Chains A and B, each alone.
Chain A
Amino acid sequence: MNTKCAECDGPINVPNDVIVGEIVSCRDCGVEYEVSEIRGGVALLKPAETVEEDWGE
């Protein structure tokens, strides 16, 4: 399952067993996307949240 980066048009490799919520990233520019939905075998992506000050363990 492959798609293109909205930022740079580069390739994004989406594993076939991906599930909603997983993070994928563009191989070219590194922008991260979150899988928001899987419809008809196609993963729909939205921009992933970026690191906030309170993120961590």
Chain B
Amino acid sequence: MLQLTILFDRLRWEEKALKKEGENEGCEASLLDAKGLVLEVSTPRKQNSLGDLALQRCISHYRALYLTKILENMSLEVVNSSAVTENCGNKLLTTLLLGKARIPTPKTYIALTPDTVPQAAEALGFPLVMKPMTGSWGRMVSLARDGETLQSMVELREQLQNPAEHMYYLQEFVKRPPRDIRAVVAGDEIAACVYRYAPEGEWRTNVARGGISKAFKPDEELQELIHRAAQAVGGGVLGVDAMESRDGYLIHEVNNTVEFKGAQSATQGSIPRKIIKYVLSRGKK
């Protein structure tokens, strides 16, 4: 019987649902708290306790990335791979890959010092959005309507200890309806597609910020973009985020540890079942 290890560092509804579906699909699924792991890394020896296949669900980006690299070094198949984790966990890398694949994405500039932020802002125009390169749930994603606000945001960011926060990812503020689009992708299948509506008094649509999900069937153009975006970062179990701009769809983010509780509440079919079927297909290759 195939042994599937679901790695987590914060156990949520999603991980429990994935375990249940794994068992329903006839594999031996177990939950493993990554925070308790101590692994010898100087020899690439496989640890039998980690099973045949791992599903990476850690919400700490660096914990997920390093642990996945270690497990891959032990020749364990991990979904998503470390390459995909790296590509999605850093907004700059995601943007580079989307651009390279000619996938429409919001216009974005990087300023490598605080002094060059005004130049980037001039190129983009106001309002603009400043995002941290790592992290999600809309945390520290800020809207600057003018130069004074932007300057204050930069000064605050400069107080942070992490040097990565002293480089600035600045993006055009896309005029869109008060919603964006989240597609949950499992391999070649779009497991669910929902609109996420921003809650009252909030411009961000993240479910973590109270966004409300409503399922819909994506048209062919959007389906194609979702698949291309997933492939651009390496493919796997992903959350592809899109916006409806005046000029058409834009893909603005691809998430590698996709949360789907909100999407599931609005969707008929079982999202975790589709994810597990895909993950198990990776284990059989």
Contact A21 B8 (CB under 8 A): yes
Interface size on A, residues (CB 8 A): 15
Which residues of chain B come closer than 8 Å to A21, judged between CB atoms?
A: 8, 10-11, 31, 33
The 6 lowest CB-CB distance pairs between A and B, nearest first, are A56-B136, A57-B255, A21-B11, A54-B61, A57-B136, A22-B11
CB distance from B219 to the nearest CB of A (A): 25
Contact B33 A56 (CB under 8 A): no
Using A23-B11, A53-B135 as known contacts, list a sample of 5 further A-B pairs with CB atoms less than 8 Å apart, ordered by residue number in A.
A19-B16, A53-B132, A53-B162, A56-B61, A57-B239
Contact A55 B59 (CB under 8 A): yes
Contact B61 A55 (CB under 8 A): yes
Residue numbers of A with Cβ under 8 A of B are 19-23, 34, 48-49, 51-57
Grouping DSSP codes into helix (H, G, I), strand (E, B) and loop, the A interface class, with mixed when no group exceeds half, is: loop
Which residues of chain A come closer than 8 Å to B12, judged between CB atoms?
A: 23
Complex alpha-carbon distance, A26 and B139, angstroms: 24
Contact B61 A19 (CB under 8 A): no
Residue of A22, A34, A56 contacting most chain B CB atoms (<10 Å):
A56
B103 within 8 A of A: no
- Contact residue among B9, B11, B16, B135 (Cβ-Cβ distance under 8 Å from A56): B135
